[in-house]
A and B are shown apart, each in its own frame.
Chain A
C-alpha cells in the first residue's frame, strides 16, 4: 500500500501554513519551543525507548547544547549553523561519557546517576563563568533577527525533520535492530554478534546529538540562556511528556511534546479557559465537583467504598460552595487563592496524564494514534518504531 497523499498534504498544511493563519508572529516563539520539545522527546526516546535505559538528567543534555551554541556564536563569532553543529557534537560526547557509566552501573542505580548528573550540570558545569557566563547567563542571538520568530520556527522544523529522518533510518538499519535486541535481551544480542556495549554507547551518542541540537535551538529561540533554565523539574517534565507520548512512537512523542510546550497557547485559544484560571474561587469547586463525580463513578464500577465516600463528600462540598448557600470557612479561603498561571498548568496536567497513561494505556498517545498513522502511511514507512510501554526499560538490564 502506498501512503495516502491527501492526508499527508493536509498534515503538511497544518504544520507549515496553519500557524501563519491562526497565530500572531509573537506566538511563534512558543511554536518554536514546541518543535524544540519534540526534538527533546525524540532524544529521550532513543535512550528510554530504544536503548532501554532511563535518563532523569536530560535537561543537562539540552543545557550543554544550549550553552555550547551560545558560546560558539557569541564568543567565537561563528555562524548559527556552526553553533548547532558544535552543540550536537558536544551533546553526543557528554552523553557517551555518561553512557560509559551506564556500562558499569545498571538499573535503578543508573537512574540515580542521571538524576545527580542533571543537578550537577546545572550547579557546576553551567556555573563555569568563562563559558556560560556564570549565573548571569549568556546571550544567544536569534539567527533570524531579534524577535523575528516566524522564520525561526521553520528553521526549527527543518531540524525536526532531520532528526526524524535520522531516527527513522536508524531504526530501519542494523543499529535499530541492535538496540532493540540489546534492550530486550543483551545475551541474545551478544550471541548474534552484536557488540552490546558499543551499541549502548552509540545509543547514548545519538540521543546526545539530538539533545544538543534541541539545546542550541532552544538557546537561540530564547535569545538568552541561564543555568536556571535547566532545572530538575524540566528533566522530569521531559521524561513525562515522552512517556505520555508513548515510547517508540515518533508520532505520539512529537504530538505530546509539542502540546506540552504550547499549553499557554491552547489555554488562550479555548474560549473562557483563561478567565476561568484567573478566578480559581469558581474554577476549583467545579474541578472538585467533576473529580468527585468521577470518583463516585469509579467507586461504583469497581466496588471501591472509599472512593465512593470521598467522591460523595467532594461532590457535596463543592456543590454547596457553588450554590447560593454560604459555606463558612471555605469560601473566604478560596477567595484568597492566586490566579493559576497557564504555564504552571502543565506541571499539573502532565503528571495526571502520566499516571493515567501508566495505569491504563502504557502505549501512550502513540498507541491511540497508531490506526490513524497506519491509515495515512499505508504501512510503507511506519512513523513509529514498534509498540511502546515501559516494560522493558532498565529492568531488562538491571
Chain B
C-alpha cells in the first residue's frame, strides 16, 4: 500500500522535478521566481498539438515545439526580464506572472477552453510493472530525462565555463563583466535553457492526461516551486529529489484513508508541506543557509 504510493509518487514527482529544475536554474542565475515556467511548457504542448494535427512527423513536431518554447523564453528575457534587471525581484515576479497570463490568453484563443488529448512519444503502457503499478514507457522517459537533465546541469554549473560564468554573474555582475564576460548573453542563455526545460516538461507530461489552457501551470507550477524549496532553491539534484518528495507525499495523501473526506487532498498536502518546510527550515532541506 505505502510502497505502491511510493512508486506512484516517484513517477509523478519526476515531472515536478523537471519543472523545478527550470525554476532553480533561473533562480540560481538571477534570483527571480519565474511564474512563466509552467507556460513555457504549455506553449510547447500547443505547438506540438498544432504540428501533429497538421501532419508533421512526431519527432519533428517535438523539435519545433521545443523551438517555440525557446523563442518564447528568449523573447521573455529580452522584452520583460532584461529591461527590469535593476528592478526589485518582486517586480520581475509580477512581470513573469503577466507573461504566464498572456500565454494562457493566447492558448485560450488558439485552442479554446478545452482539454485535448495528445499522443505520447512512447505508447507502450505495460512493459514495466512494479508492486502492481504499471509504469508506462512515457513515465519512464520522464524519469530518465529528469535524472539526466539534473546531472548534466550540475556538471554544467560545476565544470564548464558557461555555468561558472552564470554563477559568477549572479553574484557579482560588475566584476564578471570586467572579466570580459557578456552578462547579457548569459541571461539570454539561461532563459532559453529554462524555457527548453519547460518545453521538455510540457511535451513529456502533456500526453499523460491531456492538456488545456495553462495546463502545466495548474498541474505542476505550485508543486515545482515546492520541490525547489525543498531542494533549497539552488541545488539542481535537490530540485529533482524535491520533486520526488512532493510526488510521494501527494500520493500518500491521496491514498490515506483518514484524508478520504478532504477535498483536493493533493493540493492540501502541497500547501501544508510548503508551510511546514518554510516554518521549520526556511533555507530548504538541502539548501545551505546563506
Contact = CB atoms under 8 A, between A and B. Distances in A.
B279 A104 contact: yes
A237 B101 contact: yes
A interface SS class: helix
B274 A112 contact: yes
B24 to A, nearest CB: 13
B88 A391 contact: yes
A127 B263 contact: yes
B102 A348 contact: yes
B271 A116 contact: yes
Contacts of B214: 232-233
Contact of B88 (A236, A306, A350, A393): A393
A395 B109 contact: no
Residue from A120, A340, A348 with most neighbouring chain B CB atoms (10 Å) = A120
A240 B94 contact: yes
B101 A395 contact: no
B94 A233 contact: no
Interface stretch (A28-36, A195-203, A353-361): A353-361
Given A337-B110, A351-B105, A359 B97 contact: no
B275 interface: yes
Nearest to A244: B98
Contact of A358 (B35, B78, B91): B91
Interface stretch (B62-70, B165-173, B217-225): B217-225
A240 B267 contact: no
A344 interface: yes
Given A120-B268, A123-B267, A127-B264, A395 B90 contact: yes
B94 A354 contact: yes
A246 to B, nearest CB: 13
Given A355-B79, A358-B94, A341 B109 contact: yes
B150 interface: no
Nearest to A360: B83
B208 to A, nearest CB: 19
Interface size on B, as a range, is 35 or more
Contact of A344 (B78, B109, B218, B282): B109
A347 interface: yes
A340 B109 contact: yes
Given A54-B93, A108-B89, A240 B101 contact: yes
Nearest to A346: B105
B101 A347 contact: yes
A240 B264 contact: no
Contacts of B12: none
B275 to A, nearest CB: 6
A232 B93 CA distance: 15
A89 B174 CA distance: 51
B90 A109 contact: no
B105 A115 contact: no
Contact of A359 (B33, B83, B100): B83
Contacts of B229: 109, 112
A105 interface: yes
B186 interface: no
Contact of B270 (A101, A120, A337): A120
A243 B94 contact: yes
Nearest to B267: A123
Given A120-B268, A232-B217, A338 B110 contact: yes
A138 B268 CA distance: 22
12 contacts: A109-B278, A116-B222, A123-B263, A124-B267, A127-B264, A232-B214, A344-B105, A347-B108, A352-B102, A358-B95, A390-B88, A393-B91
The 5 A-B pairs of least Cβ separation, nearest first, read: A127-B263, A347-B105, A123-B264, A351-B98, A120-B271
Interface of B: 33, 35, 78-80, 83-84, 87-91, 93-95, 97-102, 104-106, 108-110, 112, 214, 217-218, 221-222, 225-226, 229, 262-268, 270-271, 274-275, 278-279, 282
Given A347-B104, A351-B101, 10 more contacts: A116-B225, A116-B226, A116-B274, A119-B222, A123-B264, A337-B110, A348-B102, A354-B94, A358-B95, A395-B89
